[in-house]
Structure 1
Amino acid sequence: MLTTKTFLRKTKKGNILKIVREHYLRDDIWCGSNLCAKCLHKAHELVLDDEPVSNSSLFSFPHYVVVDTCVVLNQIDVLEEKAMCNVIVVQTVLDEVKHRSSSVYKRLKDILSNPQRKFYIFVNEHHRDTYVERRPGETVNDRNDRAIRVAAAWYESHLAGPGERVRAVLLTDDAGNKERAVAEGLTVCTVVEYVRSLRGHAGLEDKLNLASLQYVGGWAGREPLFPPHLTPAQVHAGVRSGRLCQGTFLASRENFLEGQVNVDGRDGMVLVQGREGLNRAVDGDTVALEMLPEDQWAAPSEIVLVDEGDDPGDVLEEEPSPAPEETKQRAERQPTGRIVGIIRRKWRQYCGILQLNPVQGSSRHIFVPAERKIPKIRLETRQADTLANQRIIAAIDSWPRTSRYPMGHFVRALGPVGDKDTENEVLLLEHDVPHSCFSEAVLACLPALPWLITEQDERRREDLRHLDICSVDPPGCTDIDDALHCRELENGNYEVGVHIADVTHFIRPGTAIDKEAALRGTTVYLVDKRIDMVPDLLSSNLCSLRGNEERFAFSCVWEMTRDANILGTKFHKSIIRSRQAMTYEEAQLKIDDARQQDSLSRSLRALNDLAKILKRRRIDNGALVLASPEIRFQIDDETHDPIEVESKKLRETNSMVEEFMLLANISVAERILQEFPECAVLRRHPRPPDTNFQPLISVGKKLGFEIAIGSGRELAESLDAAVRPDNAYFNTMLRILATRCMMQAVYFASGMEQPEDFFHYGLACPLYTHFTSPIRRYADVMVHRLLAVCVAADSTHPDLLDKRRAQDLCNNLNYRNRMAQYAGRASVALHTHLFFRGKIQDEQGYVLYVRKNALQILIPKYGFEGTLYVRPRRGEKMSVQFVYNEEDQTQRCGDVVFHTFDPVTVQLSLDRSNVQHERVLLQLVSPRIAGFSVASWDAEIEAASGKRKEPEAEPMDQDAAGDDRDDVPAGKREKTKGKQKKRKNKS
């Protein structure tokens, strides 16, 4: 049967275009039930049980469940449970879910693909008896609801037969849909009613999204606590008129009553403060913002404020009052606004713990997220005693005006609080790192072993196996994706080559392994393990440029003068055999030992000399040398616990490899942009707005240094000149602050940005991309494919030349790259806490920030910041008083004054009183303040043992901190080690 759909569309020129589409209807679409005699011959499509067992006290008869769109969107956590089976999802629902939520759609598809769950897709839109036309004046939503009810009614009649037949029960969260279903004689109930009727599944009720019932049972307060949000129509009109602006809300980690909005098209962030200003926005939400008049602008708070303590109920306590406006310098204030509407929520599932209700027997509790930027969540659970010491996952359902905290529901438990495996799982989930095992479809794309190079491969590639090529990486590195060579030519110049693992030979476009790599985006490096972007067979074996093994590579080869001037560049697919896989230290020893005159040693020395010239040239051109504290953990082989911490040491060989990776990336960027001006995948680093530099300028000025920010070169020269002989770590701290002023470097498709925006500010180069790390970055895979087409080594494909598709991939890569960085830092923090369990140590630190109620202390040895509170926190008492001078940014107690960057000695121990947020506790040792400082732990140990303590290592030298490392090539970041040397824990 054929029906037609007619659409009228208005063109840009104002003409009316009539579009007619044919819609085919069939009568041979089966129902999917093993009970149905009419469909038995379609055995491969029979999913639903012939005798479904009912566990519902509402419906004791055998039945299948038909779900509507609201149920899938709001109750996906319930549907994922095994208690829900024999479920029919009609095509109308599937299409609506796909259109409205990609994340829920993916989760639903995962359920549908599992035959044990017995979820069946019924193609109602192409069945002659269940397809419905949209009536005149009927909304799309009402038409779809009617189509779902028609499908449920069809199942009732289709499965009718003698004896006890199987019925169809419609589940809906829509009150209007339920009323119409009852009027039409259907068997119907809400999800809440159905779940509460299931016997033997008490825990399932905790997973219900109760947003529609949030005012039942006294959840909400009586008086509104927040201003109302504008309606979508009001928001749209306000944005269109310019009265409102939209952007992404970013909550503060240091003050839960403060955040910023990254407004589209505006340089710099807009500050929002106070509960009314934040107005129920959650980190990541897209919000509508109303700007305040300039005389109401404020400066970011100098108070470190955490929402601690028990549930105060639905009341708002008095907020800390800001400092008098006259004490604020005009330059320190920034554009300020208030959030008046939510355009799009970015709620997700959150990890955390349960804060139990002190009322015995209550099922209503507070969920405390692990991420401080997320507010506490109210939820109901009857498993509180079981979950009290567990890390759990919860989801937000709604946030009414009358509730201090948002409402949510329990999703699942992860494991005991404090357990390392559980905490690792938490940090991966919190940073949205895909870490499940690779699927069978992905593994099926891997080549069979033994893998051999064929004669056909040799004909298609440049044979470079005769060259003395080597790799230089951190110790224990197994995913080696770059190698180098240098040899002298007859004309006295050098031939220099960078050889990169040819990952795209094994990962073809559109395959399951390609889609998985694009989703993951990057390899994530944690302290004790690595979450690979591609399976281990490729990352650590066939693509890894291991010593004395033949491998496929993509080579970038230059002819250079001895002054590092490039005379020519060529690219080709190649076959190489690395002579040796060296560590940085091994390569440095070869360079420094003049007695070693073999070809590999001479090659390394030439590379090192050229790299020094390249680096000096870059810096003279305005490239920045920034800093970030980086450390390395020694991990016990058996327990995988940290047993020693040390600062990462950077040698000349680190810089040598870095320079040639940067040069290769720049050379490739120039080539692919020349060939593909619209769809080249590049990387840009925007210049920070001047407001970003304000903290750096302010600190420099107070310490007697003028920081110029007119250009990258001026900034670099200012940083070079800012040196204090009395503080060896001063310049490094200044560079750390400069790093925090920077914008994030991002991938983009060249056709989506203006050429003047291609510039990479940190590297001071007009064009840049990522080519040198295809094992661990999908951006490099995209670039390899573009370059392969440029040199006729591979054919093109449609997605490669689609700039919008390329930009979508780049957006995902930017997100995955950012999350991978955060996950890596969280892993360092976790292992720092593990390291300090049962330890107390005195360490050298520096004041990085002076706050109104605290000092932020940087501990170089461990690469982390801690908070030293100088005002009593809730429930604490303090016998001394500190005086904060906002103008000078100092804290004074008696004769002791703390300035930014001042050295201090602090005592470190682990505070485990808060099971949700273990923290390294900082207590002042020196300078000595009576009644505040603690006695030196090292002195106590020395006195008790009668032994002299060995002196601490000097703080790392200002050049040893390196730069941000964001654009340092593959293998140059510290990678997760394999076997580590086992050391005795002396503490």
Structure 2
Amino acid sequence: MGRKKKNKLHKKKRGGTYNKKKLKNAILSTLYENPGKTVNYRQISGSLSIKDPETRKLINVALQELADDGYVDQISRGKFKPKARTGKVTGIIEMQPQGFAYVISDELEQPAVISSRNLNHAMEGDKVRIHVYARRKKHDLEGEVTEILERAKTIFVGTVQTTKNFAFLIPSGKVGFDIFIPKEKLNGAKDGQKAIAEIKDWPQNARSPFGEIIEVLGDTGDNDAEMHAILAEFELPHKFPQNVDKAAEKIPLEIPKEEIKKRRDMRKTTTFTIDPADAKDFDDALSLKKLDNGNWEVGVHIADVTHYVRPNTIIENEAQDRATSVYLVDRVVPMLPERLSNGVCSLRPNEDKLCFSAVFEITKDAKVKKQWFGKTVIHSDRRFTYEEAQEIIETGEGDFSEEMLKLNELAIKLRDERFDTGSIAFERVEMKFEIDEKGKPISVSFKESKESNHLIEEFMLLANKKVAEFIGKVPEKKTPKTFVYRIHDKPDPDKLSSFNTFIKRFGHGIQLSTPRAISTSLNKLLTEVKGKSEQNVVETLAIRTMAKAAYSTRNIGHYGLSFDYYTHFTSPIRRYPDMMVHRLLEKYLDGARSVNEQKYEGLCKHSSDMEAKAANAERASIKYKQVEFMQDHIGKTYPGTISGVTDWGIYVELENKIEGMIPIAQMDDDFYIFDEKNYALVGRHSRKSFQLGEKINVRVWRTNLERKQLDFRLAEQDKE
């Protein structure tokens, strides 16, 4: 009898908890030790001593993503083989303010440092191949870019500087070069103006790339020019092409009678919207009706955008490219033309509107007894601002007070249950500027979430969760149909462990044994620090340990919410993934077959990328207004809290939440060394230390609007 040959991997003593990123890393190092072997997820589980079913399921997702990124080949369904190693590593460039870069790669356990001279013309976000040097003891991994595989961008925004015969564009943001512009390629741009340039060539020996001006935005300091420049910096549009606006204008506001006949008519049910005071795009409405059996019928009604925006039209293509609305300090750049976002689709009061609805029968204990998803027609009775709804909740008086109070009572129960099952209670305070007619910030205030915000949030979460479960939760051994999920990976175990070490100095600690223990103890910690001096630093660091949420067809659950299935269904006016979800849900309710996963995974990745760009643009606009606001406060002293420590300086947040930096070069009373482990700068001679979370007094030293930089000096050290 012949001996059966087993395809075994070397057993590694790993085990422990993994998030997706760590798991990809571990899988690659296992595969590289077994070159040429074809493996499946079971063999990987055995090799890494992974026994829990959740992480074993995650292995499949990690393998798919490694195949997408070109690290492994999929030989057949569920079977993978590592690509031959070349001694080179592939990764993404992350530029740092001082000119060097990190390369982030699944092949490396930590980022590799690339000095500016070894970047070889690589830029922020580029996909590159690097040669990693032999590692010196206790030193960072270092490397050199050997090839640029994919350019992240060739279009840059900045300020024009002209000389007699040529000009340069000085780019905004983290860019380590200026762009040389020949005189004849200026296209009317004048010295000091904001403009957009495209790189046309970067000769091997040239210090700067060569480019041409493709759009002049306006004068530096002009509010519109600056906001358009921020959008352009993150490759976001600031206006719609004319043909898209024209196509939108043709869409009628009136609803044909035959369309109403095809839908569930809910116009007689009490319905209202609750939104910010300045909102015009009302995505969602809530309805409430008491049922004969004592339960409540709650309708979550979402604008039926995909009824109006059809596949393969110019409005659809524009929405897909944009993927999200962008919210800057003083404006919204919508995903859909205004005719749709603020008109046809917006659930305005006293108008019949088409919706895609999730209707739930809910008990008085907020348990869902029945659910229904489908197309409806609604008629909103009232538009509330959050402030108006809050007043009704607090006083018990006002329009539809009975319905408002009942919905709030159910929302509180849903919220309590969510936190009981491991949802994490991150509450971030939102900064709001009061701005004059020229766009200049006059004052700063903060928006805090109250019960009226929580009321809307809970019913939106419920609809998103139930839609995702309806498609994704299938009997065992059955494959769910392709769908768009909102996923959130577990925190990085290493970051959590150093966070835990750091908070011990404040007398706090979290449990790290299981994902559930982490979330429960994290909630306890967030409650404990409320109102204490360390609150901000603990909350900020806790958020930094978290992964970023993203869109994917490969469901791994949502860790922060503690939901096994979650999607985005409730905001199709401002998010493209919600439009995809509406289309897929409609298809599957009609019994259609599963769609092509690869196509939708590509759209998910694009949507995640655009969401990140929009968030960065929003942050940049806030930073710009902060620096502009502080220009009138130069020389003044303020108390602050150290909010970040790096080897180039200390970041300090003032009581108005505005953050600036004390450059290390200005701390000239000693030679300060960065103690990464303890988040501190320590004086070599005096041993004086500046640590994250510490209170200090600072003087506003200088502002640089061009770079969105605010610099402080230590109040007691400022000799000027």
TM-score w.r.t. structure 2 length?
Answer: 0.80
Q: Which residue of 2 aligns with 1:583?
A: 385
Is 1:392 aligned to residue 195 of structure 2?
Answer: yes
Q: Secondary structure of 1:425's partner?
A: helix
Residue 226 of structure 2 is aligned to residue 423 of structure 1: yes
Change (3 A) 1:396 1:884: same
Q: In the TM superposition, what whole-angstrom CA distance separates every residue of 1:926-983 from its partner, at most 9, and x where no partner exists?
A: xxx3x4378xxxxxxxxxxxxxxxxxxxxxxxxxxxxxxxxxxxxxxxxxxxxxxxxx
**What code does the residue aligned with 2:545 have?**
C
CA distance in structure 1 between the partners assigned to 2:244 and 2:529 by the alignment: 61
Cα separation, 2, equivalents of 1:762 and 1:865: 27
Q: 1:608-627 residue pairs with structure 2 within 5 A?
A: 608-627=408-427
Q: Does 1:741 align with 2:545?
A: yes
* CA 1:694–1:417: 2 relative to 1, 3 Å: farther
How do 1:315-464 residues align onto structure 2 when only pairs under 5 Å count?
Answer: 336-354=142-160, 363=165, 367-381=169-183, 387-399=190-202, 402-440=205-243, 443-447=246-250, 449=252, 451-464=253-266
**1:340 partner letter:** T
**Deviation string, structure 1 residues 280-334 (Cα, Å, up to 9, x no partner):** 32112211123344545635xxxxxxxxxxxxxxxxxxxxxxxxxxxxxxxxxxx
1:3-22 aligned at under 5 Å gives the runs none
**CA apart distance, 1:429:** 0.9
In structure 1, what is the Cα distance between the partners aligned to 2:257 and 2:195? 56
Deviation at 1:589, TM superposition (A): 1.1
Matched residues in 1 for 2:213 and 2:139: separation? 38
From 890, 900, 903, the equivalent of 2:695 is 903
1:404 Cα shift? 4.4
Structure 1 residues 380 and 639: CA distance shift in structure 2, 3 A: closer
Of 644, 661, 686, 2:460 maps to 661
For residues 165-244 of structure 1, what are the structure 2 equivalents within 5 Å?
240-244=84-88
Match of 1:288 among 113, 116, 129: 129
Contact 2:422-2:516 within 8 A present in 1 as well: yes
Counterpart of 1:622, as a letter, is G
CA distance in 2, matches of 1:404, 1:512: 41
**Secondary structure of 2:572's aligned partner:** coil
Residue in structure 1 matching 2:612, options 818, 826, 844: 818
- 1:703 Cα deviation (Å)? 4.1
1:682, 1:383 → 2: CA distance?
A: 46
For residue 438 of structure 2, what is the amino acid of its counterpart? Answer: T
- Residues 517, 292 of structure 1: CA spacing in aligned structure 2 closer, same or farther, 3 A cutoff? same
Structure 1 residues 439 and 807, CA, compared in 2 at 3 Å: closer, same or farther? farther
Contact (CA 8 Å) 1:685, 1:746: kept in 2 or not? yes
- Corresponding residue SS for 1:650: coil
8 Å Cα contact 2:425-2:523 kept in structure 1: no
Amino acid at match of 1:684: I
**Residues 540 and 352 (structure 1), Cα distance of their counterparts in 2 relative to 1, 3 Å cut:** same
CA distance in 1, matches of 2:719, 2:570: 50
How far the C-alpha of 1:390 sits from its partner, in A, is 1.8
Q: State whether structure 2 residue 520 is matched by structure 1 residue 728.
A: no
Shift of 1:734: 1.6
**Distance in structure 1 (CA, Å) of the matches to 2:696 and 2:384:** 39
Unmatched segments (≥5 aa) in structure 2: 1-72, 74-81
Question: Deviations along 1:511-564, whole A, 9 cap, x unmatched?
Answer: 221122111111111111111111212111221112222211111111122222
Q: Which of 635, 642, 660 does residue 847 from structure 1 map onto? A: 642
Is 2:114 the counterpart of 1:273?
Answer: yes
Alignment-mate amino acid for residue 426 of structure 1:
A
Distance 2:149 2:160 in 1: 30
Q: Could you report, residue by residue, the CA deviation over 1:469-526 in whole angstroms, capped at 9, with x for unpaired residues?
A: 1111111211011111233322222222211111112112222211221111111111
Correspondence for 2:487: 684
Q: Using the alignment, how far apart are the partners of 1:885 and 1:650 within structure 2?
A: 37
Distance, in Å, in 1 between the alignment partners of 2:382 and 2:208 is: 59
Mapped pair 1:803 → 2:629: no
- Return the offset for 1:641: 2.8
Shift of 1:924: 3.2
Higher strand fraction (1 or 2): 2
Shift of 1:457: 2.4
Flag the 1:584–1:916 CA change in 2: closer, same or farther, 3 A: closer
- Does the residue aligned with 1:743 lie in a helix, a strand or coil? coil
Question: For the structure 1 residues 242 and 830, does the alpha-carbon distance in structure 2 shift closer, same or farther, using more than 3 Å as the test?
Answer: same
Q: Aligned partners of 1:397 and 1:709: how far apart in 2?
A: 51
Does the 8 A contact of 2:529 with 2:535 survive in 1? no
Report whether the alignment pairs 1:857 with 2:663. Answer: no
Change (3 A) 1:435 1:802: farther
CA contact (8 A) 2:502 2:678 kept: no
Please tell me whether the aligned partners of residues 871 and 882 of structure 1 are also in contact (alpha carbons under 8 angstroms): no
Does residue 565 of structure 2 align to residue 763 of structure 1? no
Aligned length in residues: 630
The verdict on how the C-alpha distance between 1:898 and 1:582 changes in structure 2, with shifts beyond 3 A counting, is same
Q: Deviations over 1:676-723 (max 9, x none)?
A: 934212221122433444653453245443344454433334434447
Which of 240, 252, 259 matches 2:102?
A: 259
How far apart are residue 791 of structure 1 and its match?
3.4
SS for the counterpart of 2:380 is strand
For residues 708-742 of structure 1, the C-alpha deviation after alignment (integer angstroms, 9 at most, x for no partner) is 44544333344344477796252343222222233
The alignment-based identity, stated in percent, is 30
Letter in 1 for 2:718: F
Going from structure 1 to structure 2, the CA distance change for 1:690 and 1:575 (only over 3 Å counts) comes to same
What is the rounded CA distance, in whole Å, between the counterparts of 1:744 and 1:885 in structure 2? 27
SS of residue paired to 2:177: coil
1:137-172 CA distance string (max 9 Å, x none): xxxxxxxxxxxxxxxxxxxxxxxxxxxxxxxxxxxx
Distance 1:448 1:353 in 2: 40
**Contact 2:701–2:712 under 8 Å retained in 1:** yes
Residues 1:375 and 1:829: Cα distance change in structure 2 (over 3 Å):
same
Residues 156 and 233, structure 2, Cα contact 8 Å, conserved in 1: yes
Change beyond 3 A, Cα 1:279–1:452? closer
Aligned residue for 1:393, secondary structure, equals strand
Unaligned runs of 5+ in 1: 1-235, 300-334, 873-877, 935-987
TM-score, structure 1 as length reference = 0.59
Partner of 2:396: 594
Q: 1:917 aligns with which of 682, 707, 718?
A: 707
Letter in 2 for 1:760: H
CA contact (8 A) 1:585 1:651 kept: no
Q: Distance in 2 between matches of 1:468 and 1:250?
A: 51
| Structure 1 counterpart of 2:6 | none
How many angstroms does 1:569 deviate by?
A: 0.7
User: In 1, distance between residues paired with 2:181 and 2:314?
Assistant: 39
Q: CA deviation at 1:668?
A: 0.8
- 1:31-64 per-residue CA deviation (whole Å, 9 max, x = no partner) reads xxxxxxxxxxxxxxxxxxxxxxxxxxxxxxxxxx
The residue aligned with 1:937 is none
Cα 1:444–1:408, aligned 2, differ >3 Å: closer, same or farther? closer
* Pair member with larger Rg: 1
The residue aligned with 1:671 is: 470
CA distance in 1, matches of 2:429, 2:679: 23
In the alignment, structure 1 residue 880 sits paired with structure 2 residue 692: no
Q: Decide whether the 8 Å contact of 1:628 with 1:736 is kept in 2.
A: no
The range that moved more, 838-847 or 801-810, is 838-847
Q: Which residue of 2 aligns with 1:562?
A: 364
CA distance in 1 between partners of 2:261 and 2:184 (Å): 69
- 1:25-36 to 2 correspondence within 5 Å? none
Are the counterparts in 2 of residues 684 and 748 from structure 1 also a CA contact under 8 Å? yes
Is this contact kept in 2: 1:258–1:272, CA < 8 A? yes
Do the aligned partners of residues 279 and 711 (structure 1) sit closer, same or farther apart at CA in structure 2, a change above 3 Å counting? farther
Q: 1:239 to 1:336 in 2, by over 3 A?
A: farther
